[in-house]
A and B are shown apart, each in its own frame.
Chain A
């Protein structure tokens, strides 16, 4: 019953991520349910896009949420927006799984600079629309290169081999594409 009330409260008036993390630090299991309801879709969607397999994507999602439960301190506010951080983690962990390598701890210790509040449904929806529109405006070569690097987890050398482009061109396209996206969303 209490669990239902907590989740219902979250629907009526979203509890800030920081407060939820404090509850997780105190061992409040219901806070994890709220986190899951808030961010599972973005985490799962990114993982599924990379791995193209629902069972593996679910494993990555489970691992990420359990990390919040085990080490809530490592997700403190210094990391920036938690939703954004989880999205990047989902991508990186999924690529790690594809490449069968261990997750990089350093990547997860770094501070992420973004003002995106993915916990807010309306803001997330607006951002998604803008991001998708900005991607459509990218030149086809940039879009393809970014997709191969980000979602397919191919290294620049592998992309070079597949496309026949030079290393410099591939690097430049990835960088230009991401910068253009940021500008497009901020515009």
Chain B
């Protein structure tokens, strides 16, 4: 796998993508620990990987993810070592014949007293100025912090408002598609109370609201998955989201992140393994097509 002593360029790419067989990964890793040239090339490849990673469709993490992280961070509080204390300096001892020792003679005591007084006066003025300046800086920082807090709150409010607007728009837009999902005709052994669901979908914005009731409880390790069936022929079903009903059989999917502009001919619900599936697994539990 090596060219001379180095890992080949192709294998460096596979190594960066962690796609080499395990034994070759180990060999390459051993070489890379010692070889700055190959490490440098690998760094460039990983830079290319960053660019490609950016092409993943942008999705906002669930709102509770932030709280979850901060909760765990708080649980794993760090032991912060105390600030190192500066060693106390020993007083400097001057030799008896030094100038320092001789200055405190009776002849020089009076001028020194005046000098000391003047020095204290000077320090006093400086201290006053420092206090005034400090107060001004504090006030300025407080104003800046207040502004920053206000900006953050405004930004948060705008985001919430934007989401609420999206929900309202999806609900009220006359062009929004409204589909009721019921047991398909081919379904056998229906439950006593039929599960039912309703989708409101606005293709232009990708906004979607899904409400279901009377859903059967799921087995362990299973989840319901809602699918959008594109209107364009040949397009595969698009996963809208996973959901599990509550104890009363109710469930909802509200404003999942869907690409904009996907026209739908209908929607379906299937039962999948936890984590969802790449495509719907029969049977379709609920289905609804645009009239």
Q: Are B50 and A87 in contact (CB under 8 A)?
A: yes
Q: Are A116 and B10 in contact (CB under 8 A)?
A: no
Task: Tell which of A151, A153, A157 touches B56, judged by Cβ atoms closer than 8 Å.
Answer: A151
Asked if B247 lies at the interface with its beta carbon under 8 angstroms from chain A, I say no
Task: Tell which of A5, A66, A81, A131 touches B145, judged by Cβ atoms closer than 8 Å.
Answer: A5
Asked if B52 lies at the interface with its beta carbon under 8 angstroms from chain A, I say yes
Asked if B40 lies at the interface with its beta carbon under 8 angstroms from chain A, I say yes
Residues of B within 8 A of A8 (CB): 145, 148-153
Residues of A within 8 A of B40 (CB): 113
Closest to A133 in B: B55
Q: How large is the interface on A (under 10, 10 to 19, 20 to 34, 35 or more residues)?
A: 35 or more
Main secondary structure of the interface of B (DSSP, over half): helix
Main secondary structure of the interface of A (DSSP, over half): helix
Residues of B within 8 A of A151 (CB): 56
Bits for B133-177, please: 1 = Cβ < 8 Å to A, else 0.
Answer: 000000000000101111111010000000000000000000000
Question: Closest Cβ of chain A: how far from B60's Cβ, in Å?
Answer: 6
Closest to A111 in B: B43
Q: Are A106 and B59 in contact (CB under 8 A)?
A: no
* Cα-based distance from A117 to B28 in the complex (angstroms): 29
Q: Which residues of A contact B (CB under 8 A)?
A: 4-5, 7-9, 11-12, 26-27, 29, 32-33, 36-37, 40-42, 44-46, 48-49, 51-58, 61-62, 65-66, 69-70, 80-81, 84, 87-88, 90-92, 95-96, 104, 106-107, 110-116, 118, 124, 127-128, 131-132, 134-135, 146, 149-151, 153-157, 171-172, 174-175, 178-179, 181-182, 185
Q: Which residues of B contact A (CB under 8 A)?
A: 9-10, 13-14, 16-19, 21, 25, 29, 32-33, 39-40, 42-62, 65-66, 68-70, 72-74, 76-80, 145, 147-153, 155, 239, 241-242, 274-276, 278
